[in-house]
Amino acid sequence: MYESNRQDGFVLITSIIFLIAITIAVVYAVKSATSVERSAGNYRARAQAFQMAQLALQRAQAQLVDDISFSGIPLDQCQKGLCGKNAYATLISNGTWTDDNKTCHINNATCNKVNSANTSQTLAISGVAAQPRWALRDLNQQDADGCTLYEVWAAGTGAEANSSVLIRSLVKAC
């Protein structure tokens, strides 16, 4: 009598199930790696935007060392980086931060004057979607020491236009 050693495709079915399990594991690993890389890229873009906003903030604060004049600027508007005390709504508007007539970008020779407007200090930043911008708002307040309070706004953009940061700071100028 002849005995048959038939497995009826058991090895084939087992190997197909094993290959499907490995494929699912590989697909999950690739998706996970892509997600981590995207997250790291977003973090880098935001960090770059924050650094650009800090640079603009420092440039705006340097302007306060020089004699600047807010005379002639309407209380609710901004002109070339100088804003009236009621210009808060203007400053939080997105359109303000792309308007050269309202804010000052870091490579604009017209509004980056130092040393009593004798010299212009500009700086062009490469690798960013837009140059850092700043605006000074005169709060029209003085403290007991006779120092004037200003609000400094700064906007920075990373390598991609959708990575942007807007920061503000209060500065006491004596």
Predicted local distance difference test score (pLDDT) of residue 114 = 59
Predicted local distance difference test score (pLDDT) of residue 48 = 95
Instruction: Report whether 59 contacts 52 (CB < 8 A).
Output: no
- In degrees, to the nearest 5, what angle opens at C-alpha 170 toward C-alphas 58 and 59? 15
Predicted local distance difference test score (pLDDT) of residue 68 = 78
Instruction: Report whether 73 contacts 62 (CB < 8 A).
Output: no
Cα 54 → chain centroid:
9
3-state secondary structure of 168: strand
Q: Identify the DSSP state of 95.
A: G
CA pair distance 76, 101, nearest whole angstrom: 14
Predicted local distance difference test score (pLDDT) of residue 59 = 86
One-letter amino acid for residue 86 of the chain: N
Predicted local distance difference test score (pLDDT) of residue 61 = 86
Q: How far apart are the first and last CA of the chain?
A: 111
Q: What is the pLDDT along the chain (174 residues), one digit of tens a residue?
A: 555 566 667 888 899 999 999 999 999 999 998 898 988 988 999 999 999 999 999 888 888 877 678 888 899 999 988 999 999 998 988 788 888 889 988 888 777 765 555 566 677 889 999 999 999 999 988 888 888 899 999 999 999 888 999 999 999 888
Q: Which two tokens stand for residue 117?
A: 């407007």
